[in-house]
């Protein structure tokens, strides 16, 4: 009787194990972030904030990634979170603010969102010690994305010297803002492979680069007020009047014409209305709390 019971129990367990093995598998769990076609990491030390590094992350999703794509981005806890999270439909397209959630996980701030287009733009500020002239900063890309192409750009602070970057950035150029940029292509990066970028430099001026490079008000007014040199006037061959009389007549006609055009324009020019405080300077759309880019035209808000 006991042997018979043991055989029945053993058969039951075998059938249960077989049923579990043949049961259909459930939906696969999310394995991680989508693959990136391009990732650009830009570090701008002391650009528009004293004692802070502006970190800019620009990413493009791989062509095979389906939209919208869920993304989890880890930022340093020392940054306090993102200053801007935006998306675009093109590499140089208008940036639009992207809704996101944030939570603290140890020494990182996790930012979660769904990316509706292929291009992502994230900005945050991370503190850098400015007590001593010799300064250093290190950003650690967490490596929780696979990317087919990774590039690094470091903006050289105004009035700084002895800039050193690791990894070495061999491409050096001067931007339209007058600042020097160091860049390099680092190739592909697999998921789970972090990347550390270290910057060291010497700087005595405590002002940020944007303030140092801004032209003085007096210089800007003088440049705007100084007229361009006039081309010398020449008289046509066989002129019946002296050259000086022709020049005076031309100047008088131009002055009268300019005065008439000014009066006509003044009568037709529409009255300008002051934009509401905090509105976009390009299109006038009101600014919502926390926006870094205009919700209508994508212009960067100051």
- Looking at residue 184, which CATH number applies to its domain? 2.60.40.1730
pTM over 0.85: no
Find the mean pLDDT for residues 126-137.
96
62 Cβ contact partners less than 8 Å away, ≥ 6 residues apart: 34, 35, 36, 37, 148
Find the mean pLDDT for residues 252-264.
71
Q: Higher-confidence residue: 149 or 293?
A: 149
Q: Is 8 a residue whose pLDDT tops 70? A: no
Q: Is 135 a residue whose pLDDT tops 80? A: yes
C-alpha torsion 176→211→282→173, nearest 10: 20
Number of domains in the chain: 1
How much is the mean pLDDT over the chain? 81
CA dist., res. 18 & res. 22, Å (int): 6
CA dist., res. 69 & res. 77, Å (int): 24
pLDDT digits (tens, 9 = 90+) for 150-168: 999 999 999 999 999 999 9
pLDDT at residue number 10:
53
The region, left, alpha or beta by phi > 0 then psi within -120 to 50, assigned to residue 36 is beta
53 Cβ contact partners less than 8 Å away, ≥ 6 residues apart: 43, 44, 45, 46, 47, 125, 126, 127, 128, 137, 139, 199
Q: Examine residue 71 and state whether it is found in any structural domain, yes or no.
A: yes
Closest CA to 31 of 145, 126, 178: 145
Instruction: Report residue 225's pLDDT band, with 50, 70 and 90 as the boundaries.
Output: low
pLDDT at residue number 250:
67
Instruction: Report residue 246's pLDDT band, with 50, 70 and 90 as the boundaries.
Output: low
Q: Examine residue 231 and state whether it is found in any structural domain, yes or no.
A: no
Q: Examine residue 236 and state whether it is found in any structural domain, yes or no.
A: no
Q: Is 73 a residue whose pLDDT tops 50? A: yes
Q: Examine residue 28 and state whether it is found in any structural domain, yes or no.
A: no
Instruction: Report residue 210's pLDDT band, with 50, 70 and 90 as the boundaries.
Output: very high
Q: Examine residue 254 and state whether it is found in any structural domain, yes or no.
A: no
- For the chain, percent of residues with pLDDT exceeding 90: 59
Q: Which domain holds residue 110?
A: 36-213
Q: Examine residue 100 and state whether it is found in any structural domain, yes or no.
A: yes
Q: Examine residue 283 and state whether it is found in any structural domain, yes or no.
A: no
Residue showing tokens 């299109």: 283
Q: Is 23 a residue whose pLDDT tops 80? A: no
Q: Examine residue 286 and state whether it is found in any structural domain, yes or no.
A: no
Q: Is 230 a residue whose pLDDT tops 80? A: no
């Amino acid at each position: 009787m006991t042997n018979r019971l043991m055989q029945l129990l053993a058969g039951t367990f075998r059938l249960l194990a077989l049923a579990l093995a043949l049961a259909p598998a459930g939906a696969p769990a999310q394995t991680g972030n989508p693959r990136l076609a391009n990732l650009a990491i830009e570090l701008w030390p002391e650009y528009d904030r004293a004692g802070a590094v502006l970190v800019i992350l620009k990413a493009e999703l791989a062509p095979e990634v389906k939209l919208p794509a869920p993304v989890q981005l880890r930022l340093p806890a020392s940054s306090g979170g993102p200053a801007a999270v935006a998306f675009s439909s093109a590499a140089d397209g208008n940036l639009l603010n992207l809704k996101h959630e944030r939570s603290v996980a140890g020494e990182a701030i996790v930012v979660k969102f769904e990316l509706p287009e292929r291009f992502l733009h994230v900005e945050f500020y991370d503190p850098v010690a400015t007590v001593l002239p010799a300064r250093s900063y290190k950003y650690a890309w967490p490596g929780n994305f696979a990317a087919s192409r990774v590039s690094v750009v470091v903006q050289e602070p105004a009035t700084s010297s002895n800039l050193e970057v690791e990894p070495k950035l061999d491409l050096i150029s001067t931007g339209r803002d007058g600042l020097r940029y160091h860049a390099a292509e680092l190739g592909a990066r697999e998921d789970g492979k972090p990347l550390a970028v270290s910057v060291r430099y010497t700087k005595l001026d405590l002002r940020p680069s944007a303030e140092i490079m801004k032209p003085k008000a007096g210089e800007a007014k003088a440049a705007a007020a100084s007229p361009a040199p006039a081309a010398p006037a020449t008289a046509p061959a066989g002129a019946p009047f002296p050259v000086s009389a022709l020049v005076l007549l031309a100047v008088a006609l131009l002055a009268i014409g300019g005065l008439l055009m000014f009066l006509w324009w003044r009568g037709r020019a529409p009255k300008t209305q002051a934009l509401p405080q905090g509105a976009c300077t390009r299109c006038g759309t009101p600014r919502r709390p926390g926006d870094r880019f205009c919700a209508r035209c994508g212009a960067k808000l100051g």
